[in-house]
A = this chain, B = another copy of it.
Amino acid sequence: MTQSSATVGTSTYLKIKRDILFGALEPGAKLKLDDLKARYSTSLSTLREALNRLASEGFVDAPEQRGFFVKPVSAKDLGEIAHLRVLLECHALRLSIANGDTEWEGTLVAAHHKLHVMEQRMLSGDESETEAWKRYDWEFHQALISACKSSNLLSLHATLYDKYLRYQMLVLTHRGQEAAAEHREMFEAALARDPDRAVAALKTHILKGLEHTVEAMGEAEVSAEITVQSPGSAR
């Protein structure tokens, strides 16, 4: 549970990133350095290093001279990210299917198994381990493309995945049954070395997820506005 790591810098970087991804730090929130210093119990310099890393990855905004802010969210941004993920992940999947050896098949089988078990548990109503579930989801998607032989591609994809994940965590509602079916389809198509089928499934998977999340965002936005407005202050 605890996010430990060799260096204090990296570990606070990971902690802040996690808090952004899972919504503990809200979109658009001002990141006051003194507050963060208390919250993550670390020094100013270390904090700023972490924030600079996050800023260059796009999880934090850092307008000059005005400090740091959690990156705001928007349906437009989510759309861009989903489409980029389709572009990169589908491309990587093709390469991976073409290049993958037996070792790769092994990791894939393992990853899908673990994800599948977790999905069954979620479907039966156990919502207690969303975070673990998401980790298995990541491991599965990662395994699918892991044989693409481009570390540059893998690292771009990792960042995109995290950005997409943030939106999913934001709306806290998922497409359990359907997503599980799509995962199975991708898995089987990849093992069968059928790139077209696998890519089609992956594309559907991401775009359906996008649709679903955008809808949920729309609702959330409306209810947020209602909550925020003082009664009768419609201007």
Q: Which residues of A contact B (CB under 8 A)?
A: 6-7, 10, 45, 48-50, 52-53, 55-58, 64-65, 77, 80-81, 83-84, 87-88, 91, 150-153, 155-156
Contact = CB atoms under 8 A, between A and B. Distances in A.
Nearest to A153: B84
Is chain A's interface secondary structure helix, strand, loop, or mixed overall?
Answer: helix
A50 B155 CA distance: 20
A57 to B, nearest CB: 6
10 contacts: A6-B64, A7-B65, A10-B64, A52-B52, A53-B55, A58-B155, A80-B150, A80-B151, A80-B153, A84-B156
Contacts of A65: 6-7
Nearest to A57: B56
Nearest to A50: B52
A151 B72 CA distance: 14
For the complex of A and B, the 7 pairs showing the least CB-CB separation, nearest first, are A80-B152, A80-B150, A45-B45, A53-B56, A56-B56, A49-B52, A6-B64
Nearest to A148: B80
A102 to B, nearest CB: 23
A59 to B, nearest CB: 10
Nearest to A43: B45
B152 A81 contact: yes
Contacts of A91: 87
Nearest to A149: B80
Nearest to A44: B45
A181 B12 CA distance: 50
Contacts of A80: 150-153
A52 B50 CA distance: 8
A225 to B, nearest CB: 25
Contacts of A50: 52
A77 B154 CA distance: 13
